[in-house]
Structure 1
Amino acid sequence: MKNAKNKKGPVMSQTVLTGSAASVKQDSGRSESVGRNYKNQVMKKNYPLRFLVPAGIVLLIFFFIPTVLNFVYAFTDWSAFKTSVSFNGFDNFTSLFKNGVLLRDLRITLTFAVCESFFQNTFGLILAVFLEKDTFENRIARVLFFIPVLMSALAVGYVWQALLQANGALDQILGFFAGRTISTAWLGSTTWSIVIVSAIQGWKWAGLAMLIYLSGLKTIDEDVLEAAQIDGANGWQTFWKIKFPLLAPALTFNVATSLLGSMNGFDTVQATTAGGPGGSTEILNLFVWRTFGQGLYSQSTMMSLLLFVVVMIIAIPLIWYLRRREAKIL
């Protein structure tokens, strides 16, 4: 009997402890639930949903409704030369595909986007590496390189157009150092004009990429860099083996935004070349603008719809790949 009583003692105490832990867990769950309810009440009181109504109305009128109408009117014969609108299926797409305009402008747009993304990220990464230290001179340089981001793209395009035209400012500067007159049509080549225009666009947005890369460099642990120095790694090895891989989140953001954003470019190309020479820089949005100005509303709408589809086709696998790469590195 005594042994039986002794055996029951630990079991009863264990049951009591288990019940106490369950009650503590239940009380903590209740407190968390009460805390969430209180937080939700405070949020509803201080930030009521009616504050979203003005922004919702603006989005509905200027974004959602035009987007839906864009899908509708792309399959109609809507134009300035007809008083009625009727559906015509894929006739707009077929006519654009047959005359070669669609494929040509799509190829030019993709070339412009890839080159612009390359220049923007290259310029931005170089600036971030050289201006990483928080010195007074570097802070001034960061501000100066960020100024083009704040400027109008049309203004930047017109300035560069004046610099690069034949007998322009760049030719005069080169002629001064060469001791002779230089006249070069920098934007007159059907092969290299799109590369030059994309470099101008990349230069304009390099300041934004610089800030993103700078923020990524600031998050790298100093102990990791110090360990690399102790192991004998030089500056070049430290950058490519440690800093650059750890910049994967910044690289993901910059590559995605620059590549997809440049596919919607318009103003820089319009200000510098206006689609010339010979249509070699006529990106898709430039053609949409011209077609709409000619009164062919349905064809321009079809082109904008195709651009939306192309951007989505590129965006989904691109972001998936960059995120997967980022997860492997980090």
Structure 2
Amino acid sequence: MKISRKLYSYYLVWPALLIYCVFFVLPAIIGLFYSFTDWRLDRVGIKFIGWENFERIFTDKTLLLAIKNTLIFAVATVIGKNLIGLALAIGLNMRLKSRNMLRAIFYSPSILSVLVISIVFTPMLRSEGTINRIFESLGLDFLSQNWLTDPQIVIWTVAAVSVWQHAGFQMAIYLAGLQSISKDYYEAATIDGAGAWRSFRSITIPLLLPAININLMLTLIGGLKVFSEVFVLTGGGPGNASQVVGTIILRSFGEGSWGLGTAVNTLLFAAVTIIAIPLLIFMRRKEVSE
């Protein structure tokens, strides 16, 4: 009876664990196997080719550009979403009469479909679009750019749109963290003569580490797995200038290069794991130490 009671909690977990293994773990293992094959639409048999697909990834210029763009997008969005989200949270944590309305306004873009965002931003980002017209009306013509057709800046444009859409979501997490911090800490710091910056550095940041940890992980994983923003805004263009790993996977499967597509997907999974897990461990240790 005692053993049965100890195992009771596991009985509740096993169904969910079984579903997870069948629909996530097993396909991942099968995909890992196919990434080492020449699996293609135009071939009947499948032959084991070892590391050839992975060698192609690191020798093909388009694939290397996609990896570079993915890293640029991830870094830009992690920094942008967290800095802007934290700034909004701090500002809207103050006693403003309109703070509830402003919170709703800044959060609302995060619940919109990426397709809706693209419909709104595509005409705005054209060379004759709203954004360039605003710059011109302010006498800032030098800031006008071909936002979606210039290969040098197109991935940064897509990243900026993503930051605009999702910074409000990070704001909500930071805001919840800020509201959980007792006001007594700040009152004690004021009595000890600490200024606003000292209180922010010594009280707010340490006690906000759980929220920072969550937001860093969400934005990092989301940045590395980017697909929708690029697909709906540029389709990977102009040319291949804004291709990312996600769009390369889609293109590979669309062209029938299924072995290459699974290899790229496997590489993406490995990259997310290698980057995210050490960061998570580091942030958890910082939480404990603080």
Q: TM-score category by the smaller chain?
A: 0.7 to 0.9
Which residue among 110, 113, 121 is the counterpart of 2:82?
A: 121
| 1:48–1:253 Cα change, 3 Å | closer
| 1:51–1:318 Cα change, 3 Å | closer
The answer for unaligned runs of 5 or more in structure 1 is 1-33
* Cα drift, residue 51 of structure 1: 9.3
| Residue in 2 that maps onto 1:236 | 197
* Cα drift, residue 183 of structure 1: 6.7
**1-structure distance, mates of 2:128, 2:11:** 60
TM-score normalised to the size of structure 2? 0.88
**2-structure distance, mates of 1:309, 1:157:** 30
| Residue in 1 that maps onto 2:28 | 67
Q: Is the 8 Å Cα contact of residues 62 and 240 (structure 2) preserved in structure 1? A: no
* Cα drift, residue 237 of structure 1: 3.3
**2-structure distance, mates of 1:231, 1:98:** 60
Q: Is the 8 Å Cα contact of residues 120 and 206 (structure 1) preserved in structure 2? A: yes
**2-structure distance, mates of 1:50, 1:309:** 30
Q: Alignment partner of 1:98: what SS?
A: coil
Q: Percent identity?
A: 33
The letter of the residue matching 1:119 is G
How many equivalent residue pairs? 288
**2-structure distance, mates of 1:195, 1:59:** 36
* Cα drift, residue 287 of structure 1: 0.7
| 1:197–1:76 Cα change, 3 Å | same
* Cα drift, residue 175 of structure 1: 4.3
**2-structure distance, mates of 1:145, 1:40:** 48
| 1:259–1:80 Cα change, 3 Å | same
* Cα drift, residue 93 of structure 1: 1.5
Which residue among 249, 263, 270 is the counterpart of 1:302?
A: 263
* Cα drift, residue 314 of structure 1: 0.6
Per-residue CA deviation, residues 233-269 of structure 1 (Å, 9 max, x unaligned), is 3333322332123211111111121112211110111
Q: How does 1:1-330 map to 2 (within 5 A)?
A: 40=5, 49=11, 53=15, 58-133=19-94, 137-176=98-137, 184-328=145-289, 330=290
**2-structure distance, mates of 1:118, 1:179:** 26
Q: Is the 8 Å Cα contact of residues 157 and 267 (structure 1) preserved in structure 2? A: no
**2-structure distance, mates of 1:320, 1:51:** 25
| Residue in 2 that maps onto 1:10 | none
Query: Max radius of gyration: which structure?
Result: 1
Which of 1 and 2 has higher RCO (CA within 8 Å, sep 6+)? 2
Per-residue CA deviation, residues 57-90 of structure 1 (Å, 9 max, x unaligned), is 6535532332122111111111111112221211
**2-structure distance, mates of 1:95, 1:135:** 56
| 1:183–1:253 Cα change, 3 Å | closer
* Cα drift, residue 311 of structure 1: 0.9
Q: Alignment partner of 1:80: what SS?
A: coil
**1-structure distance, mates of 2:206, 2:13:** 42
Root mean square deviation of aligned Cα: 2.9
The answer for unaligned runs of 5 or more in structure 2 is none
| 1:48–1:298 Cα change, 3 Å | closer
